[in-house]
Amino acid sequence: MLSNQILDVHAAVAQRAAILVRFGDLRSEGDHAFEALDESLGNGGHASHGPILAPEPARTATGRQAGPGPVGVAFPDVVRNDVDDDREHLARMRVEYGSPEKDGSPDLDVDWLADGWITLLRKWLADAEDAGIAEANAIVVGTVDAEGRPATRTVLCKGVDETGITFYTNYDSAKGGQLGATPYASATFPWYALGRQVHVRGPVRKVAPEVTAAYWAKRPRGSQLGAWASDQSRPIGSRADLRRKLAEVTERFADADPVPVPDHWGGYVIAPEEVEFWQGRENRLHNRIRVTGAVVERLQP
């Protein structure tokens, strides 16, 4: 069995994590992290934007056209000192990590995986929750479209078991389309305040309809109605339009108990081919342990 001593969050790390402001317990409600209000309206995703159009080229005080910036947007000349100050400011954001010699925190090692990746992942997830990490079950899911263009977004993990990592969403959303074209994804649990991350990647499949139905039944009614109201990832004129759609579906299902599961909504499970546990360490000599099938090995930082 895993040793509590080697898995307990170090006291200094836990104290640092405890000062984080909690955004509320949305674990039982939202499927996307940090979207409490949008979840109540069924957004369940992120705002869609049209193509970014470059404005007319900017001009400097001398009338010279400024050089292009990212995505073709033109920026005026920037004072060199401002750039240097910004770089220095970013450099000062460097975080120093621990070590057995520095603070007594134990090093992640291959023997921590003696009981398998699921056991350790669940333990780290519990540690993050106990330390007060806001939405400790938030994961950054990466997908690619048919042209190989990547996209990421934050969603909430709703299952960790032998089948893999489960999350729920609108099948007609942007990520749903990407997973339809390329059924392979990555997921990262980013517990920065604890100096820990877990990376998972593997093929993706939809969960069985009965699994989706069981989870759907546990969702708040407002979230169920919101899933009907939102054509996730599609453009919409205004927030008021979204509220009108919510009002319409609320009236439509006024006598429905429970609200039925939409055909376009359900779960995905990432079946891990690789699982990597990361622990921040002093001098950037981080600990990385990768699990690939039955092989557990240390990676260089």
DSSP letter assigned to residue 59? B
* Residues sharing a CB contact under 8 Å with residue 246, sequence separation 6 or more, in sequence order: 41, 42, 225, 226, 229
Write down the H helix ranges in 41-148.
80-91, 100-103, 117-130
Beta bridge partners of 261: none
Residue 97, annotated as binding a ligand:
no
Active site residue 80: no
Residue 175, annotated as binding a ligand:
yes
Residue 233, annotated as binding a ligand:
yes
Residue 157, annotated as binding a ligand:
yes
Residue 207, annotated as binding a ligand:
no
Q: Of these residues, 22, 59, 252, 284, which one is catalytic?
A: 284
Radius of gyration for the chain, computed over Cα atoms and rounded to the nearest angstrom: 23
Residue type, 242: L
Residue 48, annotated as binding a ligand:
no
Residue 232, annotated as binding a ligand:
yes
- Residue keyed to tokens 């409490």: 36
Residue 284, annotated as binding a ligand:
yes
Residue 215, annotated as binding a ligand:
yes
* Residues sharing a CB contact under 8 Å with residue 164, sequence separation 6 or more, in sequence order: 200, 202, 269, 270, 271, 272
CA atoms within 13 A on the CB side of 70: 0
Residue 288, annotated as binding a ligand:
yes
Q: Which residues are annotated as a binding site for FMN?
A: 153-158, 168-169, 175, 197, 232-233, 278, 288
- Catalytic residue positions, numbered: 284
Q: Which residues are annotated as a binding site for substrate?
A: 158, 215, 219, 223, 284-286
Q: Which residues are annotated as a binding site?
A: 153-158, 168-169, 175, 197, 215, 219, 223, 232-233, 278, 284-286, 288
